[in-house]
Amino acid sequence: MGLTDHCLCSSPFYGEDFYCEIPRSFRYLSFYIFDRDVFRRDSIIGKVAIQKEDLQKYHNRDTWFQLQHVDADSEVQGKVHLDLRLSEVITDTGIVCHKLAARIIECQGLPIVNGQCDPYATVTLAGPLRSEAKKTKVKRKTTNPQFDEVFYFEVTRPSSYSRKSHFDIEEEDVDKLEIRVDLWNASNLKFGDEFLGELRVPLMVLRASSCYDAWYFLQPRDNGSRSLKQDELGSLRLNVVYTEDHVFSSQYYSPLRDLLLKSADVEPVSASAAHILGEVCREKQEAAVPLVRLFLHCGRIVPFLSSIANAELKRTQDPNTIFRGNSLTSKCIDETMKLAGMHYLHVTLKPVIEEICQSHRPCEIDPVKLRDSDSLDNNMETLRQHVDRVFTAITTSGVSCPTVMCDIFFCLREAAAKRFQDDPDVRYTAVSGFIFLRFFAPAILSPNLFHLTPHHTDPQTSRTLTLISKTIQTLGSLSKSKSASFKESYMASFYEFFNEQKYGDAVKNFLDLISSSGRRDPKSVEQPILLKEGFMIKRAQGRKRFGMKNFKKRWFCLTNHEFTYRKCRGDQPLYSIPIENILAVEKLEEESFKMKNASNCVEARDWIDVLTKVSQCNQRRLTFYHPSAHLNGHWLCCRATSDTAPGCSPCTGGLPANIQLDIDGDRETERIYSLFSCYLGRLEKMQEACGSRSVYDGPEQEEYSAFVIDDPQETYKTLRQVIAAVGTLEQEHAQYRRDKFKKTKYGSQEHPIGDKSFQNYIQQQSECSTHSI
């Protein structure tokens, strides 16, 4: 896990989040701290290693961890399969000897050291007065070596034989004997072979049975203990959130999943299961992540977000504060943009961000921070050019915005316009607050977190991106007093470059495009949004029996509702095509018509893009089309005679609007169940709050006031259904744990000896009864 480098700083602050999937069988979660020298070489300072079984102890808590040294003893990983057998051997003279057969079968998951892993093992029978070692062959280039070698050791040397108590003859000596297996990496370096780990097995394990076959986790020497002075290497502050879920097959989740998916149809939406989850979770983000992923997976994200956005707007009194708080609506839309919009973000910003990073030109405009060698005017001009490139990249990217984001923005625009009908700008600010403030601006500020750059940017480039992000954020806000929105006077001065009307118009055109929808709403309070207009050449359809299919120049106008043309701008439309009736938008072979459609290829491309954008959700879109004209009784492309013959060429996919997401709906439902189970106490408090509001009209208790409850009876009904569904799943999990406890063997390949998390699990199962709701 990497963190930003901080030059000449012994107490760096990182403030960065990392999200990753980890294998269920891991033993440690480790964080390594490196020091980078002037030659950009990295040397390790230390690490923090948290055992799997300790993660819950630190779950979602800021904790300081002392750094540990990194050496062979602290980097042990892997497991060993060992078989021990004790047998009696009677010599020719009648004397009994006990021989031990130690068979080292295989290892798994050994570490790679210095780019290689050529492991071998030494097997030692050790005691107070003896140490006898034997060695396996070296296995080349493998982290999972198959040894399958047997070593024999003489354990006891009694002077006489007694069948009654053959093992007790030298009992004290045997108790002190152990088998030690050490794993090594055969190195070609002059420093010798590298230690990979060890295990120690006392021979007392053979008391109950003469054979013992088990898997063991490798351990560090002396358990990796090393005395450290307090703060010898320093400390690292971490906040680790670790979740582990067991996911059942889909049918187990049907009751809870169905309850969640109908949330958009519940009136009021505050009484729905999804909204209740947002109310009981301590952080809205906890609820937003699995909810968004589940609703996206099931194709219900737009109606759900539309419902909770409308509910939030009803509670909002000032149009300047809509969607500004960390509400469930804001968090869910943020998460949706993060999932569905990542490809769009890369297509839009990555080329220009890479260009800015590579140019490495100074852009500091704060006079206090300006270096002696820098020119303020030159820096301002360079920064202005950067802002212009980023601004243009964003405002011309509307046709690439994913469909699901456009549909969400359309719902936000409509809801805000209905709620605040006297504010003409609210239809823009409702959308710009998300797309500029929460989507583009953070990505410009920290491009590495959005995978726009492979590494963290250097301090100078980071400062440049900060200034660009601030400016873009203000340009997108469409606030009436732009300069006043900056706390820094130098930013207000710089913003004077962008006070031209063209910037505001570009933002509005962009917002119009990404918040338009071909789905016509008869209840809409919005006027149709003009997306593009201009002259084009159209071919007559020949609708009359003897009509000519000639070409005429017409003024075309496209809104989010219809596509019209007229003789001249300002005339009444001659013909109108509803957006939902557009079946395909394709570029045709101009030579077959002997006429160009638009004035230039750029204009033609713009028309194709915007028409494709507004019609891409139409359900009756064609899959094939004719790329040529129908002349002299046949299609020039395929020679078919009927002018209604099906197309011969496949339609293009259009824009990458619908990005396929790899989401497991059952896993997300299991996560939601876990959250409900975790916050069961708050669910019960919410039930009490519903009862209190239904019975009393007076002041409510303070502990109940945190919940949004618009309809106590409907909310109480949903709460009962949620608790019942959670209780059913809890019973299934309890049964699974009981079955697992019966079937699992300590020392098996899945749970090797030394697996402390499994030991804790066994202890919990034996000490406490199963919890039920």
* pLDDT value at 354 more than 50: yes
Segment 551-579 shows an average pLDDT of 88
Segment 47-64 shows an average pLDDT of 86
Both tokens assigned to 632: 């002299």
* Type and span of the H or E element at 497: none
* pLDDT value at 115 more than 90: no
Which segment of 47-51, 259-263, 467-471 scores lowest on mean pLDDT?
A: 47-51
Both tokens assigned to 88: 């009696």
Rounded CA gap, 117 and 140, in Å? 7
Please report the pLDDT score of residue 471 as a whole number.
Answer: 92
Segment 168-175 shows an average pLDDT of 52
* pLDDT value at 484 more than 60: no
Pick from 407, 427, 478: nearest CA to 322: 427
Q: DSSP letters along 242-278, please?
A: --------GGGGHHHHHHHHGGGGSSSGGGSHHHHHH
Rounded CA gap, 547 and 550, in Å? 9
Residues whose CB is less than 8 angstroms from the CB of residue 545 and which lie 6 or more positions away in sequence, other chains included: none
Which segment of 209-218, 523-532, 571-580 scores lowest on mean pLDDT?
A: 523-532
CB 676 within 8 A of CB 259: no
Alpha-carbon Rg for the chain, nearest whole angstrom, is 35
pTM summary value: 0.75
Segment 132-157 shows an average pLDDT of 89
Residues whose CB is less than 8 angstroms from the CB of residue 564 and which lie 6 or more positions away in sequence, other chains included: 556, 557, 573, 574, 575, 576, 577
The confidence band for 173, taking pLDDT boundaries of 50, 70 and 90, is: low
Q: DSSP letters along 369-397, please?
A: T--TT--HHHHHHHHHHHHHHHHHHHHT-
What is the identity of the amino acid at 509?
N
Which segment of 6-10, 81-85, 455-459, 745-749 scores lowest on mean pLDDT?
A: 6-10
Q: DSSP assignment, residue 681?
A: H
Give me the numbers of helices (H) and strands (E) for the chain, helices first please. 20, 20
Rounded CA gap, 17 and 521, in Å? 41
Rounded to the nearest 10 degrees, the angle between the axes of helix 328-340 and helix 284-297 is 50
Both tokens assigned to 203: 């021979």
Rounded CA gap, 665 and 250, in Å? 8
Segment 500-505 shows an average pLDDT of 88
Instruction: Determine whether 370 is exposed, middle or buried from the number of CB atoms within 10 Å of its CB (0-12, 13-18, 19+).
Output: middle
Please report the pLDDT score of residue 435 as a whole number.
Answer: 94
Please report the pLDDT score of residue 483 as a whole number.
Answer: 54
Residues whose CB is less than 8 angstroms from the CB of residue 633 and which lie 6 or more positions away in sequence, other chains included: 641
Rounded CA gap, 679 and 282, in Å? 9
Tens of pLDDT, residues 271-310? 999 999 999 998 999 999 999 999 999 989 999 999 999 9
Rounded CA gap, 290 and 715, in Å? 21
Q: DSSP assignment, residue 184?
A: E
Tens of pLDDT, residues 605-655? 778 878 887 777 677 778 888 888 888 888 888 889 888 888 888 887 554
Q: Which residues of 563-584 are buried (b: 16+ CB within 10 A; e: fewer)?
A: bbbbeeeeeeeeeeeebbebeb
- CA dihedral (224, 225, 230, 235) in degrees, to 10, reads 20
* pLDDT value at 422 more than 50: yes
Q: What is the 3-state secondary structure (H, E, C) of 547-587?
A: CCCCEEEEEEEEECCEEEEECCCCCCCCEEEEHHHCCCCCC
φ, ψ for residue 365 (rounded to 5)?
A: -120, 5
Which segment of 102-111, 150-159, 664-673, 734-743 scores lowest on mean pLDDT?
A: 150-159
Rounded CA gap, 395 and 509, in Å? 8
Rounded CA gap, 263 and 311, in Å? 13
Please report the pLDDT score of residue 24 as a whole number.
Answer: 73
The confidence band for 103, taking pLDDT boundaries of 50, 70 and 90, is: very high
CB 347 within 8 A of CB 303: no
φ, ψ for residue 414 (rounded to 5)?
A: -65, -45
Mean pLDDT of the chain: 83
In the numeric block, the tokens 């490495």 are attached to: 360
Report strand pairing: 79-90 vs 96-108: antiparallel
**Percent of the chain topping pLDDT 90:** 35
The confidence band for 134, taking pLDDT boundaries of 50, 70 and 90, is: very high
Rounded CA gap, 457 and 463, in Å? 9
Rounded CA gap, 663 and 80, in Å? 36
φ, ψ for residue 553 (rounded to 5)?
A: -85, 125
**Percent of the chain topping pLDDT 70:** 84
Stated length of the chain: 773
Q: What is the 3-state secondary structure (H, E, C) of 398-437?
A: HHHCCHHHHHHHHHHHHHHHHHCCCCCCHHHHHHHHHHHH
Report strand pairing: 211-217 vs 79-90: antiparallel
Tens of pLDDT, residues 196-240? 999 999 888 887 788 889 999 998 886 555 555 545 788 899 999
φ, ψ for residue 185 (rounded to 5)?
A: -105, 120
Rounded CA gap, 464 and 494, in Å? 13
Please report the pLDDT score of residue 763 as a whole number.
Answer: 60
CB 418 within 8 A of CB 428: no
Pick from 175, 152, 72, 143: nearest CA to 104: 152
Stronger pLDDT, 768 or 458, i.e. the higher one = 458
* pLDDT value at 772 more than 60: no
What is the identity of the amino acid at 725?
A
Q: How many CB atoms lie within 10 A of CB 431?
A: 25
594: helix, strand or coil: coil
Stronger pLDDT, 716 or 173, i.e. the higher one = 716
Q: How far is CA 362 from CA 52, 495, 669, in A?
A: 46, 18, 49
Rounded CA gap, 422 and 402, in Å? 30
